[in-house]
Amino acid sequence: MPLTTATSASFDMARYMEDVGAAARSSSRLLACATTAQKNTCLRSLGEALLRYKNEIIAANEMDCAGAQASGYDSGLLDRLQLSPQRIEALGAGILEMIELPDPVGVIEHLAPQPSGIRVGRMRVPLGVIAMIYEARPGVTIDAAALCIKSGNALILRGGSEAIHTNRALAGYIQTSLEEAALPRQSVQLVATTDRAAVGHLLAMKRWVDVIIPRGGKTLIQRVDEEAQVPVIRHFDGICHVYVEASADTNSAVDVCVNAKTQRLSTCNTAETLLVDQAIAAHFLPEVARRLQQAGVSLRGCPQTRAILPNIDAATEEDWRTEYLAAILSVRVVKDLDEAIAHIAEYGSGHTDTICSSDYHTIERFVREVDSSSVMVNASTRFADGFEYGLGAEIGISTNRLHVRGPVGLEGLTCQKYVVYGDGHIRQ
């Protein structure tokens, strides 16, 4: 990729992006037919390169961090931008784990004879070309490349300008690894320009891009979702609920609430609202409030909650719709299961919701009727994660309904085509 052109005065963005797209498409055709051994060879090379060139990666990353600091970015961004030696080792270890995962491509399911005599099945194949639009975190460069290579998809990476030196270094190692496995180096391309107009081109390249996956702040995701002409796999809010039903085991329910809220504050699967059955509210709320407040969480309650916990702030209508990503939890007392399900349907984001209960019928209804990408029973919402679900890795969590819902692993990056075997069969 001629990086220099990206800064020259005569740079033709539209032409450049078309070239990137066309190269991705032709690489994707070859990558789709690569053997598992080839793809694993590439991953092994990449994992080794990360360890071998750790110092070079850190040097590039330090340039980005210094630049970001000079530009006055906040500490959160700096934190996401920085790659420590440990983080690089973890990325390398993640790649080696991916080698162990089964290759989804080429698997044929449900191959069965039909009345006409033809045999019909479905073969799993790569989606084609994936474009990843993301901010700050350079680890995404490696994770996305490894997932796409293993699933046979070509990848166009469009990282944030703040991480450009790190991403260029990483993309170089990725392309070398592809070549070492006799795969096209343009199977993974980093958009060489930091001009924001490149994103607009990506969003419109229906001919070259099969799906766009944005990762980053809400503004980025909304822009992508509104402007994209290409299908988008994306994740909006994580307004996750814990509903403690009347029959719940109190101790266990308190543990689940505390873990769901505090195990990590800033993740999308962190609980933001606690719903408690009125039958147990007087008993349960003081106990859970004590534990949450010990952990530094502020509560905001509905009137019934504040009648039991008079010292907490009132929750407004806005609170029920808020993803705090902070040490705040809104609390509401509900009459029963119906009111809990209705609250989640009205205010939830379809991400992850859990019930604490011991009652079979209540649990069955909650699991069936709550319409979220993950519905849980007696477990912390924090489990909504590709590794915890056994996917081995995830490229993100989807709150789409179509194609893939919840954590997106290798299978989410594939689709199925029908395969039909006949013996000269014709239709009557």
Residues in contact with a second copy by the rule CB under 8 A = 29, 32-33, 106, 112, 114, 116, 118, 120, 123, 125, 127-128, 210-211, 226, 229, 231, 249, 251-253, 255-256, 258-260, 263, 345, 354, 356, 367-369, 371-380, 382-384, 388-390, 400-403, 405-407, 415-427
Q: How far is the CB of 194 from a second copy (least distance, A)?
A: 29
Minimum CB separation of residue 80 from a second copy in Å reads 21
Phi, psi of 64 (to 5 degrees): -65, -45
> What's the closest the beta carbon of residue 34 comes to a second copy, in angstroms?
11
- Residue 423: is it exposed, middle or buried by C-beta count within 10 angstroms (0-12/13-18/19+)? exposed
User: Of the two residues 70 and 402, which places its CB atom closer to a second copy in the complex?
Assistant: 402
Q: In this structure, are residues 364 and 377 in contact, taking their beta carbons and an 8 Å threshold?
A: no
Where does residue 350 rank: exposed (0-12), middle (13-18), buried (19+ CB within 10 A)? buried
DSSP state letters, 5-35? GGGSTT--HHHHHHHHHHHHHHHHHHHHT--
Element of type H or E holding 211:
strand 211-215
Q: Which is nearer to a second copy, 51 or 246 (CB)?
A: 246
Task: Please report how close the Cβ of residue 378 comes to a second copy at its closest, in angstroms.
Answer: 5
Give 126 or 160: the residue with its C-beta nearer to a second copy. 126
Least distance to a second copy, CB of residue 373, Å = 6
Tokens read off for 37: 């051994």
Q: At what angle do helices 85-100 and 139-150 cross, to 10 degrees?
A: 10
Comparing CB distances to a second copy, the nearer of 29 and 335 is: 29
CA separation (Å) from 257 to 289, 354, 382? 10, 10, 10
Q: Which residue's entry shows tokens 């290759």?
A: 103
Residue 299's beta-bridge partner residues?
329
Q: Pick the closer one to a second copy by CB: 54 or 122.
A: 122
Of 180 and 385, which CB lies nearer to a second copy in the complex structure?
385
Minimum Å distance from CB 127 to a second copy?
A: 6
